Structure 1
């Protein structure tokens, strides 16, 4: 893949975000902070937005949901459908009390209804400009201007012109300094470019944090959500799995999950990285997580499937760095009938979609468990295990040193047996070409590692994947970042 080099920018950014991560994310006792989330959805353009909203509501206790706005897109140019959002919230209202049996913090249906709005029923940049504010863009402006130090995550499942209009209005009404301050609080994750306002946003506001796979859909990371992968078990995204685990015998919210038409939940990756699972670090897309892994650079237009399907949205050469496609090499874990219960196999896959689908069975099982929460009491449902370390999440060692990764304090709230699996997530660290092997069996609670020889400080990311043996089996993680320095 040919890239336009922005190594200086990238290096500075990595240093800054690494410092933030080490102070913010590594304390075992740090209180969990809810992410602020604002959703733009072209619901009814394709059943997948309704599917995504059903899943989103099952995790709404982990977010502060500040907007659910129905929009247009290239696939639905002349209408918006807030009534469908309300319909799904009505089903959520019927299961709200049961969800609270399993985890606290689920917002009331009344609150969620209060933040539903409509964007203009106009496509793309035709809906951006003077006197083109909508109830949706005004609500978004209120969220942007809110006196809250937390970032605002704008999760875009369709066209982005409601965001474009909000930024246009703020540009007209605030000073450059005020606008820059407001933009610094925004985090945008869009599922491809589904209207022509997205490219305008990135060019007009070059400092805006923006995650996207621009260009044709064939070059999109988010396809790892639902595509068939040759050589692996794809059961968890199959129609029978969806019917048995989500739609049928799972109450009123499950009944709102429509059949797959073009692809299952193509929009869900736009917020999966916000779930608190021990792996996700939303502020650092290069660390990887359930929504995929992304790096900060200017992609060459020729690498973005410029002749592929976009629905008619023009493809332009990016003029600024964005968070976009990154490549992982994923060694498929192997469960063994005898001997070591789980180990790394020799079967490997490389690509940008791999950064997402490598976690797919885990997040699908998590979805199924939460759907169970809508109909079962606590004793008859499964809940995720709790990985706990016997050391800090940030370690410093010297080249050649032995060190241990120890999660023997881990627990499961249901008393289930647990499966441990440790691995080096090489691409998330500073030595992506040199994965570091676990020196002992990877499936022990406590494992040994030998620090590699380095000539300058390097970072290594080790991931504990802890899976219970409940039904469905649920997974949580611990990420340990090891800084290796020369002797």
Structure 2
């Protein structure tokens, strides 16, 4: 009778949580995050990271806000909350990271985007990336980027030899839009970098398509978190507790199977090798006859007066409607009357824009372009050619979650991941 009950219980558990595949060795991880900025999903992902810190060797927490008001103080605030819950958490798992250690590896990176060249000056964060990458260790340093690439680009510029000692998983998409110059610097100068560029698959993590009610975005907090501990009470402050956690797939990728094999299935997605990063160079505004893939680099090179404006300084703006507001993107003077701006659209849409400047030849220019949702799309002569270890969202239609390329490669594991996390929230009861 006891055996029968046990088998029934085990069967029930198996339907709820499918254990991830074992990771060959505990990975060395550094997180670069724009936490504290305009999107509070980084706070949700930071909570998840802290509660799973036993499964990785965490070596750095770098604040890299290319946009917004993020800072390392916000990381430290999250660690303080974790510290209050630490006795209960440690009672269930002795391997969780010590709060004081986490504080010691928290560093401030660049605040704001890089100029057109893609880098500027070193920061505490970029220097920490270099230090960790150069540590004597047979294992690579995994740099998981939840925001802009400015500190990573700076580290590569200052110490290009680390290219062979790091591997990158980047949550791109909207972050790519804010970090266009640093991204362009990296793909142009380090195409041989080992890099997973995730522009859309990560959306699958907060997709409610085909998931049970118990783990729907709006239900999970009340069912499984419900103010558990100080971290649980704080979690309610972000999207009213609704699950987003768009950066979490980068960590999930490290927790499930062999991270050296990006084409495998894993909690953090499954990816394919890409050979080019699309870059379209225009010498005049585009029209609706032009179509590009989302997350492509649009690079406008415009001619204007030869002036004394310093090279690589902002002197005009690209204005793009965003809901009821307008977003502005900086354009630069390259010298000798050449003016340039990079813009990376984050989604499929019909994009309208205009240029604003005190320079008459640039002021008031308008254009439109069609953005489709198939990345990286067709090739162009001006594309950046990539090496053998650059990976991105699977392009086959069978992996789309609605309009989201590659979304199903992560969405299919959502229930397993969240039920696994529910067990850890229970530690705080």
**TM-score of the alignment, normalized to the shorter chain, above 0.5:** yes
Unmatched 5+ stretches in structure 2: 1-20, 279-291, 299-319, 330-341, 345-381
Q: Give the drift of 1:369.
A: 1.3
Residue 190 (str. 1) matches residue 182 (str. 2): no
Residue 83 (str. 1) matches residue 68 (str. 2): no
Tell me which residue corresponds to 2:218.
239
Which of 256, 273, 276 does residue 296 from structure 1 map onto? 273
Tell me which residue corresponds to 1:435.
none
State how far apart, in whole Å, the 1-side matches of 2:158 and 2:404 are: 43
Cα offsets for 1:264-290 (capped at 9, x unmatched) = 111111221111x4xx22111100201
Change (3 A) 1:351 1:69: closer
State how far apart, in whole Å, the 2-side matches of 1:201 and 1:350 are: 25
Tell me which residue corresponds to 2:420.
366
Q: Give the drift of 1:263.
A: 7.1
Change (3 A) 1:116 1:350: closer
Change (3 A) 1:41 1:127: farther
Residue 141 (str. 1) matches residue 130 (str. 2): yes
Aligned residue pairs total 308
Tell me which residue corresponds to 2:29.
37
State how far apart, in whole Å, the 1-side matches of 2:228 and 2:98 are: 20
8 Å CA contact retained: 1:269, 1:291: yes
Change (3 A) 1:314 1:65: same
8 Å CA contact retained: 2:35, 2:70: yes
Change (3 A) 1:351 1:118: closer
Residue 162 (str. 1) matches residue 151 (str. 2): yes
Q: Give the drift of 1:127.
A: 9.3
Tell me which residue corresponds to 2:281.
none
State how far apart, in whole Å, the 2-side matches of 1:87 and 1:170 are: 31
Tell me which residue corresponds to 1:221.
201
Question: Within 5 A, what are the aligned runs for 1:359-438?
Answer: 359-373=413-427, 375-376=428-429
Change (3 A) 1:349 1:97: same
Unmatched 5+ stretches in structure 1: 1-27, 172-178, 215-219, 332-347, 377-487
Change (3 A) 1:120 1:329: closer
8 Å CA contact retained: 2:24, 2:258: no
Tell me which residue corresponds to 2:60.
67
8 Å CA contact retained: 2:118, 2:183: no
Tell me which residue corresponds to 2:259.
282
8 Å CA contact retained: 1:328, 1:355: no
Residue 324 (str. 1) matches residue 392 (str. 2): yes
8 Å CA contact retained: 1:43, 1:80: yes
Tell me which residue corresponds to 1:250.
228
Report the secondary structure of 2:43's partner residue: helix
Tell me which residue corresponds to 1:260.
239
Q: Give the drift of 1:51.
A: 0.4
8 Å CA contact retained: 2:28, 2:142: yes
Change (3 A) 1:185 1:119: same
Which of 183, 195, 202 does residue 210 from structure 1 map onto? 195
Q: Give the drift of 1:169.
A: 0.7
State how far apart, in whole Å, the 2-side matches of 1:309 and 1:284 are: 40
Higher relative contact order (CA 8 A, sep 6+): 2
8 Å CA contact retained: 1:327, 1:351: yes
Q: Give the drift of 1:167.
A: 0.8
Q: Give the drift of 1:299.
A: 5.5
Moved more, 320-329 or 43-52: 320-329
Q: Give the drift of 1:223.
A: 0.8
Change (3 A) 1:48 1:349: closer
Change (3 A) 1:351 1:195: closer
Cα offsets for 1:178-215 (capped at 9, x unmatched) = x1xx322211111112412123212211111111135x
Report the secondary structure of 1:117's partner residue: strand
State how far apart, in whole Å, the 1-side matches of 2:403 and 2:150 are: 36
8 Å CA contact retained: 2:62, 2:72: yes
User: TM-score when scaled to structure 1?
Assistant: 0.58
Moved more, 111-120 or 317-326: 317-326
Tell me which residue corresponds to 1:52.
45
State how far apart, in whole Å, the 2-side matches of 1:300 and 1:158 are: 19
State how far apart, in whole Å, the 2-side matches of 1:161 and 1:60 are: 25
State how far apart, in whole Å, the 1-side matches of 2:403 and 2:188 are: 34
Change (3 A) 1:161 1:67: same
